[in-house]
Amino acid sequence: MSLVAKPAPPFKAQALVGKEFKEISLDDYKGKWLVLFFYPLDFTFVCPTEIIAFSDRAGEFKELGAEILGCSVDSQYVHLAWANTPRKEGGIGETAYPLLADLTKKISQDYGVLLEDAGVALRGLFIIDPEGNVAYEVVHDLGIGRNVDETLRVLKAIQTMKKTGEVCPANWTPGEETMTPDPEKAKKWFGTHE
């Protein structure tokens, strides 16, 4: 069942922030955009590619007023060990955002991404708006990494929609024309996009 247009499930857990441990909760992000993504496990294969890709582009999310938060069922201690492992050896180095430790698997379960039998989370990604509602979700199978460009595009589309009241048609990219969600006014867009 989708969480879109519903309040994001609250959470509170230990996280690795830089090289320190800190308790993080959803309340810490009130009034901000949040990109919360789940990944299966530390010390795996696709996971470090995603974590590094999001970390390397964290500044672009910050420019949009968005924070990033990663989450897996590993402990904060395993997160630290992985961060202390060089990238060329499959590590992630220090990330530009926190990594939550979902040891109880409650966060993964609350967001609907827990694979009960395997005890790990699918690759779920949620964009939570400043009011604390889920504005977007996508879930991938374990072997498919997410696309940072697409996450940024969707975040910009949601922000554009909230700011203007207009909607973003298929394949919309920032800077392109939006559409007025009205049967008559939408004809203007359709008239120039055959």
Distances, alpha carbon 166 to alpha carbons 80, 163, 176, in Å: 43, 8, 12
| Confidence (pLDDT) at 186 | 85
Token pair recorded at residue 179: 């559409």
Q: Is the pLDDT of residue 1 over 90?
A: no
Residue 57 makes CB contacts below 8 A (sequence gap 6+) with 148, 152
Cut 0.75: pTM above it? yes
Separation of alpha carbons 30 and 47, rounded Å: 27
| Confidence (pLDDT) at 74 | 97
How does residue 187 score in pLDDT terms, banded at 50, 70 and 90?
confident
Which residues have a catalytic role annotated? 47
Separation of alpha carbons 124 and 145, rounded Å: 10
pLDDT tens column, 164-182: 999 999 999 999 999 999 8
Q: Which amino acid is at 34?
A: L
Residues in the chain, total = 194
